Structure 1
Amino acid sequence: MTKTESTAGGLRWILFATVIAGILGYVIQLLAPVLLEQEASYVTFSVLWSAVYLCVSAMSGVQQEVTRAARPSTAHAPNTVLRTFTIAAAGVIMVVGIVLGFTLASSVLPGSAWALAAALCIALAGYLLIAVLSGVMYGLSLWRAVAMLTILDAVIRAIALTVAFALQLPSVVIAFGIAFPFGLTAAVVWIAVRRHVVGKFALDVTFPALARNVTSTVGAAICMGAMISGLPLLIGLTGSSEQASAIGAVILAITLSRAPIVIPVIALQSFLISAVFRERAGIDRKTVARLLLIASGIISVLAVLAAFIGPPIIVLVSAGKFQIDSMMMAVIVLSAGLVAMMCVTGPALVAARRHTVNLIGWVLAAVLTVACLLVPLELHLKVGIALILPVVVGLAVHLFTLLGRGVSTD
């Protein structure tokens, strides 16, 4: 099988898995406002989901760097770099899970701090295993295994949460329903692929370099997560003085309209690193420009469509609980397209080892997003500004390096 055939086949598998997982995730988001009877319950679920996937988005940075560093090899000296890194990272995320659990409990689940912390620790540890394992599998071009991992995780979570919604289980139980599929999926897939992984790869970095690069990619991924999965959380925390119906409408519109645009591109980031950008000598400016030009045309059309069909869909799926205007819908979709573009420029920079530039672009965009949301303006106005302005700045930083000349590698 040629490299081109292998890459094309891999893309089909990853896209198939992404579509299945996306549909199941979308079903969860559609069921939540319908089955959760109270508006406050929906907001609580959204904040919990947002918090977990903000952390998941952050650890996608681990997957990206492991993808870049893992190369097929059977003639190499045994090393424990990746194992040592995984153990060290697990210790760090346990602390993060506990701190985040107690922080969120004070605002969304009073009296459930330890339970929420436990759920977050389970989620973070489970996804760390997924990030490391999938990064190695991407590096080895084990496309079917990556697809199996993606689908299995989504199926288990969809079943667990659907049951929890239908039975009107407490929010703490729902939090565990979000969390436990990560570890279960990693264990099942590891059993299936172990013989194809152990002794079949080597990393092109030492432990210090791996830790340094992961710190950079995780930092960028945290900022990305804040602007995607974490956006409902940020809006909920900064819009506490607004009516629940107004906040819920914006959160629902963002969740339903951005997910089909941004999530598939996020899912393809490691594929872009391993199969499109990694083996090229330097940055392929023509490939980057072509991808962004296609994306611009698609997003422009989708933004116009969203202005017409978005508001009635929001009313329909929320059973009349929430309403939103056409302009806000168009802005939400347009901003999703801009974020998706950064999810292409980021992997291009990582593959070329321009980790610092990638980080700077995402940090600027995330900081500006929070700053805009803190401005004391009407909810729709400040959210609209926060969705567009920051990502334009971040994308400009990435493009300056990708399409410019004479920039050295980190």
Structure 2
Amino acid sequence: MTDGAAVPPDLSRGPVTRSSVIRVGSATVISALCGYAVLYLAARNLEPAGFSVFAVFWGAFGLLAGAANGLLQESTREVREASRAPQSDGPRIHPMWVAALVGVVSAAIVAGSAPLWSGHVFVDARWLSVGLLSVGIFGFCMHATLLGVLAGVNGWGQYGSLIVGDAIGRVAVATATFLIGWGLIGYLWATVAGSIAWLVLLLASPTTRAAARLLTPGTMVSFLRGASHSIAAAGASAILIMGFPVLLKATSADLGAAGGVVILAVTLTRAPLLVPLTAMQGNLIAHFVDQRERRLRSLVAPVAVLAVLGAAAVLFAGLLGPWLLRTAFGADYQASGALLAWFTTAAVAIALLTLTGAATVAAAMHRAYAAGWIGATLASTLLLLLPLPLETRTVVALLCGPLVGIALHVVALARVPAA
């Protein structure tokens, strides 16, 4: 599977083990803490209205990066499948070169289309925001694909290092911004600062360079065909997860200070569940590929773990959330325990959709995967247009929309015989 070089012995192709989950889980904890740190510094440094502006850019980059995670999913599946199947003499492609092509095209689309939408999305630092988005999305396409390749060959140590490197890059710039008083501009730079972590890891790690040279069977057209469905679904998921501030602004006349509080509350209540799940997409897809003969049964254990953790998170948010929000971010950030508990319940629904989505993409059911996430996003968008108070329609949209996607995924997994 390489271009003439042997795969290093630490890149094994066995099943996903508990130690690999622990490695990635540890990296995810560090990543989550760094993410919280960036949000904390921005919220403490900027008033709620200013934080709302930053959060929209944070969400816009998260939306694009989330879509690029489709490359992670497809490269994981392709490399994992290739490691399980006999090698053939047919055409093969280099996933990292495909990532570079997709990254360049994505950056060009962002920059070229900016005059049509940037004025409606970015209140301040409009063209800097566009430039950072363009450069950042190229870097994240490379980042996501390298993660996928590493997951496909069980390179979990390097996988975790890449996750941590991305997070540390962000928090380092955010900390410098807080200390020197750079203001909003500094937090915009911090948002995309981790996009060069893939290059740093390539330069520093011979094992990572060996993994990056791996080839997979097929043509660029076949890879992009599968990746396009994954990217579409990942983009839809990113709207509900990282890009939610953008969606909320697009469906609201004026967010103001209330919008900043809602965005922060939603971000904080979903992060404990969704940050680990997002970071562990490689583990999940590799697990489901290995268990593809047991599609629905392979979901039971992850769903049970999520249910237990979700119930604990809802209880914690309801009882301690309001106090933590006021203490950590200041008296301007007020939300009731009931509201925070509902936001956390909605996060559990999106986490379940993430699990069923990973199972469908692992089974190469790209259309069902995309349909589930797109259906959930469309349902949530329509629900956000209801004539209800901001907090109420946010809960309804984020709780009910994902149920549509879960149903589509489960039906697809149940109807098609396992390979």
- Considering the TM-score relative to the shorter chain, is it more than 0.5? yes
The range that moved more, 215-224 or 225-234, is: 225-234
- One-letter amino acid of the structure 2 residue matched with residue 314 of structure 1: L
Q: Are positions 1:15 and 2:33 aligned together?
A: no
Specify the SS of the correspondent of 2:136: helix
Q: Are positions 1:341 and 2:349 aligned together?
A: no
User: 1:160-214 deviations in whole A, cap 9, x for unaligned?
Assistant: 012113333243443223223212x111111233555268633133211111111
User: 1:27-64 deviations in whole A, cap 9, x for unaligned?
Assistant: 1112221122x322111111111111111111111111
**Structure 2: distance between partners of 1:300 and 1:199:** 40
Structure 2, unaligned runs of 5 or more: 1-9
Q: Structure 2 matches for 1:155-166, cutoff 5 A?
A: 155-166=168-179
Flag the 1:299–1:407 CA change in 2: closer, same or farther, 3 A. Answer: same
Flag the 1:378–1:173 CA change in 2: closer, same or farther, 3 A. Answer: same
Note the C-alpha offset of 1:224: 0.7
Pick one of 247, 256, 265 that aligns with 2:259: 247
Q: Are positions 1:236 and 2:246 aligned together?
A: no
**2:378 corresponding residue in structure 1:** 367
Flag the 1:171–1:194 CA change in 2: closer, same or farther, 3 A. Answer: same
User: 1:45-88 deviations in whole A, cap 9, x for unaligned?
Assistant: 11111111111111111111001101459977684443552343
Flag the 1:112–1:294 CA change in 2: closer, same or farther, 3 A. Answer: closer
Pick one of 273, 279, 304 that aligns with 1:261: 273
Flag the 1:198–1:366 CA change in 2: closer, same or farther, 3 A. Answer: closer
**1:280 corresponding residue in structure 2:** 291
Flag the 1:89–1:391 CA change in 2: closer, same or farther, 3 A. Answer: same
**Structure 2: distance between partners of 1:83 and 1:296:** 36
Pick one of 162, 165, 172 that aligns with 1:152: 165
* Counterpart contact for 1:99–1:117, Cα < 8 Å: no
**Structure 2: distance between partners of 1:166 and 1:105:** 29
Note the C-alpha offset of 1:111: 7.0
Q: Are positions 1:350 and 2:353 aligned together?
A: no
Flag the 1:97–1:170 CA change in 2: closer, same or farther, 3 A. Answer: farther
* Counterpart contact for 2:57–2:129, Cα < 8 Å: no
- One-letter amino acid of the structure 2 residue matched with residue 221 of structure 1: A
Flag the 1:254–1:205 CA change in 2: closer, same or farther, 3 A. Answer: same
Pick one of 121, 124, 131 that aligns with 2:137: 124
Pick one of 208, 216, 220 that aligns with 1:203: 216
- Report the TM-score when normalising by structure 2: 0.89
Note the C-alpha offset of 1:108: 5.4
**2:74 corresponding residue in structure 1:** 65
Specify the SS of the correspondent of 2:290: coil
* Counterpart contact for 1:35–1:166, Cα < 8 Å: no
The range that moved more, 382-391 or 230-239, is: 230-239
**1:43 corresponding residue in structure 2:** 52
Pick one of 84, 93, 102 that aligns with 1:89: 102
**Structure 2: distance between partners of 1:74 and 1:154:** 37
Q: Structure 2 matches for 1:312-327, cutoff 5 A?
A: 312-327=323-338
- One-letter amino acid of the structure 1 residue matched with residue 150 of structure 2: M
Specify the SS of the correspondent of 2:21: helix
Note the C-alpha offset of 1:127: 0.5
Flag the 1:346–1:271 CA change in 2: closer, same or farther, 3 A. Answer: same
Q: Give the total of aligned pairs.
A: 404
Note the C-alpha offset of 1:408: 7.6
Specify the SS of the correspondent of 2:215: strand
The range that moved more, 204-213 or 150-159, is: 204-213
**1:186 corresponding residue in structure 2:** 198
- Report the TM-score when normalising by structure 1: 0.90
Flag the 1:52–1:307 CA change in 2: closer, same or farther, 3 A. Answer: same
Structure 1, unaligned runs of 5 or more: none
* Counterpart contact for 2:295–2:418, Cα < 8 Å: no
User: 1:267-306 deviations in whole A, cap 9, x for unaligned?
Assistant: 11111112x1112343432221232233223323322332
Flag the 1:111–1:68 CA change in 2: closer, same or farther, 3 A. Answer: same
Note the C-alpha offset of 1:317: 2.1
**2:181 corresponding residue in structure 1:** 168
**Structure 2: distance between partners of 1:225 and 1:115:** 22
Pick one of 281, 291, 294 that aligns with 2:302: 291
Q: Are positions 1:31 and 2:41 aligned together?
A: yes
* Counterpart contact for 2:74–2:148, Cα < 8 Å: yes
> What percentage of aligned pairs have identical amino acids?
24
Flag the 1:241–1:132 CA change in 2: closer, same or farther, 3 A. Answer: closer
